[in-house]
Homo-oligomer: A and B are copies of this chain.
Amino acid sequence: MTGGLHFSKLNRYMDKITSKSNEKIKRLKKLISDRDFRRKCGKFAVEGVRALDGLPRADELFVREGVKTPGIPAGGVTVLDKKVFDAVSSTENSQGVIAVAPLVINGFKTVSKDGRYLLLDGISDPGNMGTIIRTACAFDIRGVILGPGCVDPFSPKAARASGGGLWGVEVIELKNPEELSGHKVVGADIKGTPIYEFEWPPSFILAVGSEARGLSPDILKTLTGRVRIPISKRMESLNASIAAGILLFDASLQVNKSPGR
Contact = CB atoms under 8 A, between A and B. Distances in A.
A238 B194 contact: no
Contact of A234 (B138, B161, B194): B138
B196 A235 contact: no
B235 A168 contact: yes
Highest count of chain B CB atoms <10 Å: which of A165, A230, A235:
A235
Interface string A22-42: 000000000000000000000
Residue picked from A168, A239, A261, most chain B C-beta under 10 Å:
A239
Contact of A163 (B138, B163, B239, B253): B239
A131 B235 contact: no
A239 B168 CA distance: 16
A235 B194 contact: no
Interface residues of A, number: 38
A236 B53 contact: yes
A239 B51 CA distance: 12
Interface stretch (A59-67, A170-178, A219-227, A242-250): A242-250
B242 A131 contact: yes
B246 A138 contact: no
Contacts of A194: 256
Please give the count of copies of this chain that the complex contains.
2
A108 interface: no
A251 to B, nearest CB: 12
A7 to B, nearest CB: 37
A235 B139 CA distance: 9
A232 B140 contact: yes
A135 B234 contact: no
Nearest to A229: B249
Contact of A54 (B140, B234, B237): B234
Nearest to A245: B242
A230 B138 CA distance: 9
A164 B234 CA distance: 9
17 contacts: A134-B235, A134-B238, A134-B239, A135-B242, A137-B232, A138-B235, A139-B231, A140-B232, A161-B239, A163-B236, A164-B235, A164-B236, A168-B234, A230-B256, A242-B242, A242-B245, A246-B249
